C-alpha cells in the first residue's frame, strides 16, 4: 500500500479525470438474462458485471433447507478474461469471501421468512473488473432480486470510498485501490438508512473514518437513484409517474 | 372506488402514511407502509397494497392450478405446480375413503407426466400445498397446447370481467384454461386458431402493464371494433361465448382480485 505517485493532481483531478466527489459512470440494464427469474447488467466505470437470480426454488440438497425461512446462496465469480492476466476460474479465497459478504449485505433487505423451505440463488459474474467490483456486484444483485419479484424491505445500493493522497475520495478505481491509502466498500439501504456492509482495507484516523463512511453513503444514494431509474425503465418505460386510466 | 390512488413503486418506496391496513406486498414500519415488490401501489379506503409485476407463484388456498404429475408414493401423487413448493394430491381424493394402496393401482388414474387441473385445498407455508380434484371440471387435462406465463400476469390475461380472455377465445375459436400458477392450456379446432391464441397470450404477458392492451389484442387478432366496444364501458356483459359454465364461475372468482388495470 505504499504510494508511488501522485494520484490527485494540482487541479484536484484524479487519474481518470474525476473530482474527489465524483462517481464513475454507472449504467444498469434490467432483465438481460431471459432464463433467470431476475437479472441485471451493470457497468460501473470499467467494471462489467452480470447478476442473475433464480428462485425462490426448491433447495437441493434438501438438508440445506431451513424450516422457517429461505436460504440465500450467493456466488461471486470473476471470469478468466476479466483481469489483465488470466485468472484461474476456480473460486479463489477472495471470491469465497466476497460471496459471503455479498450474501450478508443482501440478506437484511430480503424478507426471507416469506419463503420457508426454499432457496434463492444469486450469481454474480464479473466480465471485466476495475476495482470496486464487490460494490457493483451487490448493486446489480439487488436490482436482479427486485426484478425476480422477491419481497424486499429496501433496495441495497453499494459504493466505495477511500483515501488517496491523504484525501477522502468517492468511488475508488483499480489504480487508487492498489496504490491509494485505504478502501472502504459500503452497502446501504437508503430508505431504511441502514448499512449492510462495511469493510475497510487500510488505515484511517477517526475523523477520516467518519468522513469516508459519510462519503460512501452519499455515493450509495447516488447509485440508488440509478438503480431506481433502471427498474422504473424496465417495468414502466417512460411513464415514470402516476398512471391514471379511465 | 374513485378514491383509489395508484402509483408505480419499487421495493422500499413509501406507499401510504397513516392508519392504512396493509393488504398485500406492503410492510409496516413506524406509521408508514412500504412496498416490498415492484408494481402498482393502490391506496384506498380498505387499505394499501401493491399489485406485483414480477415474481414466482406462491400458492393460496382455493387457487385453481394446472400442474404436472411428477411422481407418486403409495399414498399420494407429487404435482409440479410451477412454484417453489411441490404439491401433493392424496390418492384418497381420487379413489375415495376406502383407498387401499395394495388394491388400487394409482397409475391407472393418473400417471407420471399427466397434466391436471386442481384446486389448492390446504397450504400454510409450513407444509407443502395439498391439492384436491373434488370440484366441477377438475381432473386430467387430456389435450391442448400448454404454455407458461408469469403468475403475476394471470389477472391481466383474464382481464376485467374476463374481457381479455373472451376476446381471445372468440376471435380464435379456442378455449383457454388458465391456472392461477401461470400455466395455460389452449384447446381449439384449428392449429391456426391455437397458434394465434398463443401469440395473443404471449403479447399480453409481455405488455401486461401497458394501457389499451385489449385494443391492441383486437388489432392483432383482426377483431373489428365490435358494437360491444362502446357499450362495454357501460358494463354491458359481452355476448357469452360457447364455454362451460364452470369456467365463467371460476373466472368470476378470479376477477375479484383483478384490479390491476382499467
3-state SS of A96-121 is HHHHHHHHHHHHHHECHHHCCCEEEE
What angle (nearest 5°) sits at the alpha carbon of residue A16, between those of residues A18 and A1? 105
Banded pLDDT at B2 (limits 50, 70, 90):
low
Instruction: Give a yes or no: residue A230 inside a domain.
Output: yes
- Which of A53, A122, A60, A244 lies closest to B54, judged by CA? A53
Q: Is A124 left (phi over 0), alpha (psi -120 to 50) or beta?
A: beta
Q: Which residue in B has a C-alpha nearest to residue A70's C-alpha? A: B84
pLDDT, tens only, A187-198: 999 999 999 999
Banded pLDDT at B225 (limits 50, 70, 90):
low
Q: Is B209 or A24 the better-scoring residue by pLDDT?
A: A24
Q: Which residue in A has a C-alpha nearest to residue B24's C-alpha? A: A151
**Contact flag A148-B38 (C-beta cutoff 8 Å):** no
One-character DSSP codes across A199-212: --EE---HHHHHHH
**Contact flag A232-B6 (C-beta cutoff 8 Å):** no
CA A164/CA A22 separation, integer angstroms: 14
One-character DSSP codes across B150-181: -GGGHHHHH-GGGHHHHHHHHHHTEEEEE-TT
CA B132/CA B87 separation, integer angstroms: 10
Residue A65 near chain B (CB below 8 Å): no
Residue A232 near chain B (CB below 8 Å): yes
Q: Can you give the CATH number for the domain in which B91 is found? A: 2.40.50.140
Which among B29, B37, B125 is the nearest to A151, CB-wise?
A: B37
Same domain, residue pair B95 and B166: no
Q: What is the largest CA-CA distance in chain A?
A: 66
Residue B8 near chain A (CB below 8 Å): yes
Contact call for residues B200 and B174 (beta carbons, < 8 A): no
**Contact flag B152-A228 (C-beta cutoff 8 Å):** no
Tens digit of each residue's pLDDT, chain A (246 residues) = 555 678 888 888 999 999 999 999 999 999 999 999 999 999 999 999 999 999 899 999 999 999 999 999 999 999 999 999 999 999 999 999 999 999 999 999 999 999 999 999 999 999 999 999 999 999 999 999 999 999 999 999 999 999 999 999 999 999 999 998 999 999 999 999 999 999 999 999 999 999 999 999 999 999 999 999 999 999 888 765 554 443
Same domain, residue pair B162 and B235: yes
Q: Which residue in A has a C-alpha nearest to residue B262's C-alpha? A: A245
Instruction: Give a yes or no: residue A2 inside a domain.
Output: no
Establish how many alpha carbons lie within 13 A of residue A215's alpha carbon, considering only the half-sphere containing its beta carbon: 23
How far B13 CA sits from the closest chain A CA (Å)?
Answer: 7
Banded pLDDT at B108 (limits 50, 70, 90):
confident
The sign of the CA dihedral B213, B219, B222, B227 is positive
Same domain, residue pair B155 and B129: no
CA B135/CA B158 separation, integer angstroms: 21
Pick the range with the lowest mean pLDDT from A141-145, B67-71, B161-165, B257-261: B257-261
**Contact flag A149-B209 (C-beta cutoff 8 Å):** no
pLDDT over 50 at B1, yes or no: no
Backbone angles phi, psi at B228, to 5 degrees: -70, -20
Same domain, residue pair B68 and B47: no
Backbone angles phi, psi at B227, to 5 degrees: -60, -25
Q: Which residue in B has a C-alpha nearest to residue A193's C-alpha? A: B12
CA A58/CA B260 separation, integer angstroms: 29
Instruction: Give a yes or no: residue A18 inside a domain.
Output: no
Q: Can you give the CATH number for the domain in which A202 is found? A: 3.30.230.70
pLDDT over 80 at B229, yes or no: no
pLDDT over 50 at B239, yes or no: no
In the prediction, which pLDDT does A148 show?
Answer: 96
Q: Is A236 or B236 the better-scoring residue by pLDDT?
A: A236
**Contact flag A111-B152 (C-beta cutoff 8 Å):** no
Cβ within 8 Å of residue B103, ≥6 positions away: none
Same domain, residue pair B244 and B149: yes
The crossing angle, in degrees rounded to 10, of helices B163-172 and B213-220 is 0
In the prediction, which pLDDT does A94 show?
Answer: 96
Which among B12, B29, B84 is the nearest to A115, CB-wise?
A: B84
Percent of chain B clearing pLDDT 70 (strictly above): 84
Residue A66 near chain B (CB below 8 Å): no
Q: Can you give the CATH number for the domain in which B169 is found? A: 3.30.1370.10
Banded pLDDT at B104 (limits 50, 70, 90):
confident
- Looking at B89, B114, B141, the residue that finishes a domain is B141
In the prediction, which pLDDT does B140 show?
Answer: 93
Grid look-up 437513484 returns: A225
Instruction: Give a yes or no: residue B26 inside a domain.
Output: yes
For residue B150, give its domain range. 145-255
Same domain, residue pair B149 and B249: yes
Instruction: Give a yes or no: residue A21 inside a domain.
Output: no
Instruction: Give a yes or no: residue B262 inside a domain.
Output: no
Contact call for residues B7 and B30 (beta carbons, < 8 A): no
Question: CB atoms < 10 A from the CB of B175, how many?
Answer: 20
pLDDT over 70 at B136, yes or no: yes
Return the DSSP state at B183: E
Query: What is the arithmetic mean of pLDDT over B150-156?
Result: 90
Q: Which residue in A has a C-alpha nearest to residue B125's C-alpha? A: A116
In the prediction, which pLDDT does B249 show?
Answer: 38
ipTM: 0.90
How far A159 CA sits from the closest chain B CA (Å)?
Answer: 19
In the prediction, which pLDDT does B214 show?
Answer: 82
Question: CB atoms < 10 A from the CB of B151, how many?
Answer: 24
Query: What is the arithmetic mean of pLDDT over B138-160?
Result: 91
Grid look-up 391455437 returns: B194
In the prediction, which pLDDT does A158 show?
Answer: 97
Write out chain A residues lying below 8 Å of B11, CB-based: 109, 146, 151-155
How far B103 CA sits from the closest chain A CA (Å)?
Answer: 32
Tell me what the pLDDT averaged over chain B comes to: 83
Which among B11, B25, B86 is the nearest to A146, CB-wise?
A: B11
Contact call for residues B15 and B41 (beta carbons, < 8 A): yes
Same domain, residue pair B187 and B248: yes
Query: What is the arithmetic mean of pLDDT over B75-95?
Result: 92
Query: What is the arithmetic mean of pLDDT over B147-167?
Result: 90
- Rg (C-alpha) for chain B, rounded Å, is 20
**Contact flag A150-B13 (C-beta cutoff 8 Å):** no
Pick the range with the lowest mean pLDDT from A59-68, B79-88, B247-256: B247-256
pLDDT over 80 at B100, yes or no: yes
Residue A94 near chain B (CB below 8 Å): no
Q: How many structural domains are present in chain B?
A: 3
Percent of chain B clearing pLDDT 90 (strictly above): 54
Instruction: Give a yes or no: residue A186 inside a domain.
Output: yes
- Looking at B98, B119, B141, the residue that finishes a domain is B141
Same domain, residue pair B137 and B202: no
pLDDT over 90 at B261, yes or no: no
In the prediction, which pLDDT does B245 show?
Answer: 36
Same domain, residue pair B154 and B125: no
Same domain, residue pair B251 and B149: yes
Which among A37, A115, A153 is the nearest to B27, CB-wise?
A: A153
3-state SS of B8-39 is EECCCCEEEECCCCEEECEEEECCEEEECCCE
In the prediction, which pLDDT does A246 show?
Answer: 37
In the prediction, which pLDDT does B258 show?
Answer: 41
Same domain, residue pair B187 and B123: no
In the prediction, which pLDDT does B159 show?
Answer: 86
For residue A120, give its domain range. 26-235
How many helices (H) and strands (E) chain A has is answered by: 4, 10
Write out chain A residues lying below 8 Å of B7, CB-based: 241-242
Which among A38, A117, A240 is the nearest to B8, CB-wise?
A: A240
pLDDT over 90 at B243, yes or no: no
Q: Which residue in B has a C-alpha nearest to residue A242's C-alpha? A: B7
In the prediction, which pLDDT does A226 show?
Answer: 97
How far A145 CA sits from the closest chain B CA (Å)?
Answer: 10
- Looking at B91, B110, B141, the residue that finishes a domain is B141
Same domain, residue pair B31 and B113: no
CA B89/CA B78 separation, integer angstroms: 6
In the prediction, which pLDDT does B244 show?
Answer: 39
Instruction: Give a yes or no: residue A9 inside a domain.
Output: no
Q: How many structural domains are present in chain A?
A: 1
In the prediction, which pLDDT does A87 show?
Answer: 96
Q: Which long-range contacts (CB under 8 A, 24 or more apart) does A11-17 make?
A: A14/A164, A14/A169, A14/A173, A14/A176, A15/A173, A15/A175, A15/A176, A16/A45, A16/A173, A16/A175
| Grid cell digits, residue A182 | 485505504
Q: Which residue in B has a C-alpha nearest to residue A238's C-alpha? A: B210
How far B238 CA sits from the closest chain A CA (Å)?
Answer: 19
How far B84 CA sits from the closest chain A CA (Å)?
Answer: 4
- Which of B163, B162, B131 lies closest to B66, judged by CA? B131
Return the DSSP state at A37: S
Amino acid at each position: 500500500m505504499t504510494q508511488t505517485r501522485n494520484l490527485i493532481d494540482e487541479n484536484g483531478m484524479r487519474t481518470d479525470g474525476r473530482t474527489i466527489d465524483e462517481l464513475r459512470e454507472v449504467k444498469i440494464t434490467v432483465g438481460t438474462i431471459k432464463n433467470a427469474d431476475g437479472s441485471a447488467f451493470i457497468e460501473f466505470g470499467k467494471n462489467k458485471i452480470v447478476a442473475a437470480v433464480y428462485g425462490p426454488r426448491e433447495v437441493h440438497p434438501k438438508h440445506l433447507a431451513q424450516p422457517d425461512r429461505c436460504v440465500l446462496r450467493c456466488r461471486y465469480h470473476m471470469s478468466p478474461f476479466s483481469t489483465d492476466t488470466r485468472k484461474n476460474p476456480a473460486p479463489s479465497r477472495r471470491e469465497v469471501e466476497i460471496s459471503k459478504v455479498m450474501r450478508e449485505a443482501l440478506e437484511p433487505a430480503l424478507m426471507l421468512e416469506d419463503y420457508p423451505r426454499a432457496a434463492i440463488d444469486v450469481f454474480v459474474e464479473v466480465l471485466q473488473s476495475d476495482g470496486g467490483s464487490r460494490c457493483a456486484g451487490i448493486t446489480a444483485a439487488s436490482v436482479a432480486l427486485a426484478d425476480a419479484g422477491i419481497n424486499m424491505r429496501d433496495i441495497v445500493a453499494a459504493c466505495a470510498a477511500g483515501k488517496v493522497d491523504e484525501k477522502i475520495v468517492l468511488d475508488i478505481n483499480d489504480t487508487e485501490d492498489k496504490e491509494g491509502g485505504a478502501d472502504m466498500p459500503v452497502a446501504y439501504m437508503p430508505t431504511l438508512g441502514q448499512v449492510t456492509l462495511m469493510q475497510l482495507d487500510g488505515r484511517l484516523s477517526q475523523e477520516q473514518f467518519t468522513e469516508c463512511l459519510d462519503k460512501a453513503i452519499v455515493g450509495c444514494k447516488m447509485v440508488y437513484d440509478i438503480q431506481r431509474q433502471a427498474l422504473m425503465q424496465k417495468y414502466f418505460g417512460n411513464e415514470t409517474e402516476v398512471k391514471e386510466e379511465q | 372506488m374513485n378514491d383509489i390512488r395508484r402509483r408505480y413503486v419499487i421495493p422500499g418506496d413509501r406507499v401510504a402514511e397513516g392508519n392504512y391496513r396493509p393488504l398485500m406486498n406492503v410492510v409496516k414500519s413506524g406509521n408508514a407502509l412500504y412496498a416490498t415488490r415492484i408494481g402498482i401501489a393502490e391506496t384506498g379506503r380498505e387499505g394499501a397494497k401493491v399489485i406485483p409485476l414480477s415474481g414466482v407463484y406462491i400458492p393460496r388456498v382455493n387457487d385453481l392450478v394446472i400442474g404436472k404429475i411428477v411422481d407418486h408414493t403409495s399414498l399420494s401423487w407429487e404435482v409440479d405446480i410451477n412454484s417453489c413448493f411441490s404439491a401433493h394430491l392424496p390418492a384418497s381424493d381420487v379413489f375415495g375413503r376406502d383407498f387401499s394402496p395394495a388394491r388400487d393401482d394409482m397409475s391407472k388414474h393418473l400417471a407420471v407426466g399427466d397434466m391436471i387441473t386442481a384446486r389448492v385445498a390446504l397450504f400454510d407455508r409450513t407444509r407443502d400445498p395439498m391439492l384436491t380434484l373434488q370440484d366441477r371440471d377438475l381432473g386430467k387435462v387430456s389435450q391442448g397446447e400448454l404454455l407458461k406465463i408469469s403468475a403475476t400476469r394471470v389477472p391481466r390475461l383474464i382481464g376485467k370481467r374476463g374481457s381479455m380472455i373472451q376476446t381471445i377465445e372468440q376471435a380464435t375459436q379456442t378455449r383457454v384454461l388458465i391456472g392461477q400458477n401461470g400455466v395455460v392450456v389452449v384447446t381449439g379446432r384449428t392449429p391456426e386458431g391455437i397458434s394465434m391464441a398463443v401469440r395473443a397470450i404471449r403479447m399480453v404477458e409481455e405488455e401486461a402493464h401497458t394501457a389499451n392492451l385489449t385494443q391492441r389484442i383486437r388489432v392483432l387478432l383482426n377483431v373489428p371494433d365490435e358494437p360491444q366496444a362502446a357499450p362495454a364501458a357501460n358494463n354491458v356483459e359481452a355476448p357469452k361465448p360457447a364455454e362451460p359454465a364452470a369456467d365463467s364461475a371460476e373466472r368470476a372468482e378470479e376477477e375479484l382480485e383483478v384490479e390491476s388495470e382499467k
